[in-house]
């Protein structure tokens, strides 16, 4: 119920802090999937994630921030966790979140 990281990458957080924030987002995504499905084994595959990174205009490592989520999801789901991905820089996110992630799953 609490944001793990807030503010802008390149001002309030460095790339490592952004990767941690992305990993926490991925953990929350799996928690929501489990709550909805009852079991993560019902996930056939993770199709795509879109990682939104609140960042300064000069910050250009959104793709590295997104690795925090991608690496975790592959580790957690194995082959089913390999996915397509977009990493997008944005001026701000709701609640001043540093990272927000949208995920699309294929389920059984």
**Confidence grade of residue 2 (pLDDT, cut at 50, 70, 90):** confident
- Give pairs for 27-34: CB < 8 Å, separation 24+: 27/72, 29/69, 29/73, 29/101, 29/103, 30/73, 30/76, 33/103, 33/105
Per-residue confidence (pLDDT) for residue 69, from 0 to 100: 98
Task: Report d(CA 105, CA 3) in Å as an integer.
Answer: 24
Ordered by start, the domain boundaries in the chain are 15-107
Partners of 43 in beta bridges = 107
Question: Could you report the per-residue pLDDT of 9-54, keeping only the tens digit for each?
Answer: 999 999 999 999 999 999 999 999 999 999 999 999 999 999 999 9
Query: What predicted TM-score, i.e. pTM, was given to this entire model?
Result: 0.96
Token pair in block for residue 83? 């996915």
Question: Could you report the per-residue pLDDT of 54-63, keeping only the tens digit for each?
Answer: 999 999 999 9
Classify domain 15-107 by CATH number: 3.30.1330.40
């Amino acid at each position: 119920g609490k944001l793990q990281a807030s503010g802008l990458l390149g001002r309030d957080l460095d790339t490592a802090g952004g990767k941690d924030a992305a990993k926490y987002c991925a953990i929350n995504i799996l928690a929501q999937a489990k709550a909805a499905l009852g079991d993560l084994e019902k996930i056939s595959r993770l199709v795509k994630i879109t990682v939104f990174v609140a960042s300064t205009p000069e910050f250009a490592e959104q793709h590295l921030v997104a690795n925090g989520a991608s690496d975790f999801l592959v580790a957690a789901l194995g082959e089913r966790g390999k996915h397509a991905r977009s990493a997008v820089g944005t001026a701000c996110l709701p609640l001043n979140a540093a990272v927000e992630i949208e995920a699309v799953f294929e389920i059984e």
